[in-house]
Structure 1
Amino acid sequence: MPGTLEGRIALVAGATRGAGRGTAVALGEQGATVYCTGRSTAGRRSEYDRPETIEETAGQVTAAGGRGIPVAVDHLNPQAVAELVQRIDREQGRLDILVNDIWGGENLVQWEVPVWEHDLEAGLRLLRLAIDTHLITSHHALPLLIRRPGGLVVEMTDGTREYNSTHYRLSAFYDLAKTAVLRLAFSQAKDLEPHGCSAVALTPGWMRSEMMLEHFGVTEANWRDGAATDPHFAAIAESPRFVGRAVAALAADPQLHRRNGGSFSSGSLAREYGFTDVDGSSPDCWRYLVEVVEAGRPADPTGYR
């Protein structure tokens, strides 16, 4: 799809790393102008205290063929978000794609800890980072997006509507956060319907984010060595660019509105649109999790990537 998004203006909220960075760069591959927001900049790290920055992401967008514009924004700050949207309006006069990818809760989750034992302050902050940020950003950005029909809002989450409705995500706070974002996409779809715009929920699979690679002690260059720790990771993991290409495919679809309110995964959309991951494969993680991992079968990506 070379150049399919030239002239389109995107805001990727939470573009510092992971799915946000992968999405911003994938939109850049198709020629879009992408505002890349986050709290980690070249001069200041967020509470994550990680090295990735929005300037790096914006540079990668530009190198991929688009135009990356880094803007430091704390999406829990309504005034900062309002000023961001005012800037986009002033500089571009339009907004075609909004990706709500703000998260920031990895270090706050206590996995497999009952709600009464989970650190309450950490759990409530997780919910604010995962839900309030999305609502604040949509509140300020959607009046600009609905000026033109065809606009797209992507609520990035973890798990499809179908999967999360039957699976406990190992923490009451995490479970609520990711399920709420699924519902938020559905709700916004109803609000956007009269304006000819669409909202969808989208999930990556087992993503090789910067933090996940570190967890397995590998890099993007040798990530398959993670099989020594978990063979399923090496069988089905996908790069952050894969879910980004799903966003780009949705944004370029002239029949996008038929998907309004839907919940999708990177793997399912790859089957429909024909895009691939950076290695040329098309991993279908959520089907793999159910049919292989939960079924107790040995790691084998045959038929799943």
Structure 2
Amino acid sequence: MKPLTRKVALVAGATRGAGRGIAVELGAAGATVYVTGRTTRTRRSEYNRPEMIEETAELVTKAGGTGIAVPVDHLEPPQVEALVARIEREQGKMDVLVNDIWGGELLTEWNAPVWKHSIEGGLRMLRLAIDTHLITSHFALPLLLKNRGLVVEMTDGTAAFNREHYRQPMFYDLAKTAVIRMAWGLAKELQPYECTAVALTPGWMRSEIMLDHFGVSEENWREAVAAEPHFVISESPRYVGRGVAALAGDPKISRWNGQSLSSGQLAQVYGFTDVDGSQPDCFRYLEEVQLAGKKANATGYR
């Protein structure tokens, strides 16, 4: 039996990237996975990208689980409330909630100080990163806490890394740091119900957007190292997905409550690998190689 058979998960924000990788790996472990997003076969979000939630659901099912796609804008409380009501009606429970809603890449003006960054874009970035997670938790947690469930707040960077390194622009730094604090706060609120909340970050992830940026695919991603040598430490979205699946299947999950975790850290604990069989440890690499000004070399880091 697969370790997550009969488990029910909601991956909020599963159209592409980490959300898709997480949904697929939960499916590979046997879970029923509800996947949400704004891009469907009949409608695209402002991203105007081809990935769609129906495709994610199909990948979940192909991997061995049951994928169910539900179009949801997580900034709209009635849509989220209806989603949770549907899960309760169809499944009667929720074991895992993954808050991976984001959507701020197109709004981010990298390295712009706060007085130069678009205020409209910056404030929407915060709404997409923070309001969506709060709205989703508000409606989903009453169902989750009935079953001693797990909440995973997806972000960029660990608490330790973000404490030492400013992620300009300020809107981005606030968005990603706030989610880490959100997981810590949820851990306090959920502990009396024997639930667990964590913040989790991938490393330098080979999302669909990142692969397009370098003009490569998952099959030939190493060709991008010529343009950006430090891309050698990158990881697939399935890597962090395997981290979430490992957490969801851990009978001693409460040991992680309130912590800020990374995919590389979890791989060392649970022993899983990325799709290529390696175990990239991106944040250690960033500190010891890239930010230290050393030549790109992933030996000993993957």
**2:247 is the counterpart of 1:250:** yes
Question: 2-side partners of 1:192 and 1:65: how far apart?
Answer: 30
Show CA shifts across 1:223-271 (max 9, x none).
00001111110x2010000000000000111100011000000000000
Give the match for residue 129 of structure 1: 128
Give the match for residue 9 of structure 1: 8
The offset of 1:296, in angstroms, is 1.2
Q: Which runs of 5+ in 1 are unaligned?
A: none
Question: 2-side partners of 1:73 and 1:254: how far apart?
Answer: 31
Give the match for residue 296 of structure 1: 293
Give the match for residue 162 of structure 1: 160
**2:278 is the counterpart of 1:276:** no
Could you say what secondary structure the match of 1:199 adopts? strand
Total equivalences in the alignment = 302
Give the match for residue 141 of structure 2: 142
4+ aligned runs moved over 2 Å, structure 1: none
Give the match for residue 189 of structure 1: 187
Give the match for residue 59 of structure 2: 60
Q: Which runs of 5+ in 2 are unaligned?
A: none
The offset of 1:217, in angstroms, is 1.0
The offset of 1:72, in angstroms, is 0.1
The offset of 1:156, in angstroms, is 0.2
Show CA shifts across 1:126-175 (max 9, x none).
000000000000000000000122x1000000000000011010210000
Question: 2-side partners of 1:227 and 1:121: how far apart?
Answer: 35
Could you say what secondary structure the match of 2:164 adopts? coil
Identity, in percent, stands at 68
Show CA shifts across 1:173-211 (max 9, x none).
000000000000000001100000000000000000000
Give the match for residue 31 of structure 2: 32
The offset of 1:43, in angstroms, is 0.5
Could you state the TM-score of these two structures normalised by the residue count of structure 1?
A: 0.98
Question: 1-side partners of 2:285 and 2:5: how far apart?
Answer: 35
Question: 2-side partners of 1:169 and 1:218: how far apart?
Answer: 26
Question: 2-side partners of 1:68 and 1:148: how far apart?
Answer: 21
Question: 2-side partners of 1:300 and 1:118: how far apart?
Answer: 34
Aligned-residue Cα RMSD (Å) equals: 0.6
The offset of 1:124, in angstroms, is 0.2
Give the match for residue 177 of structure 2: 179
Equivalent position to 2:260, from 263, 269, 275: 263
Give the match for residue 113 of structure 2: 114
Could you say what secondary structure the match of 1:146 adopts? helix
The offset of 1:298, in angstroms, is 1.0
Give the match for residue 93 of structure 1: 92
Could you say what secondary structure the match of 1:35 adopts? strand
Could you state the TM-score of these two structures normalised by the residue count of structure 2?
A: 0.99
Q: AA paired with 1:221?
A: E
Q: AA paired with 1:225?
A: E
Give the match for residue 209 of structure 2: 211
Q: AA paired with 2:214?
A: F
Question: 1-side partners of 2:212 and 2:227: how far apart?
Answer: 12
Q: AA paired with 1:204?
A: P
The offset of 1:299, in angstroms, is 1.1
Question: 2-side partners of 1:12 and 1:227: how far apart?
Answer: 31
Could you say what secondary structure the match of 2:146 adopts? coil
Q: AA paired with 1:302?
A: T
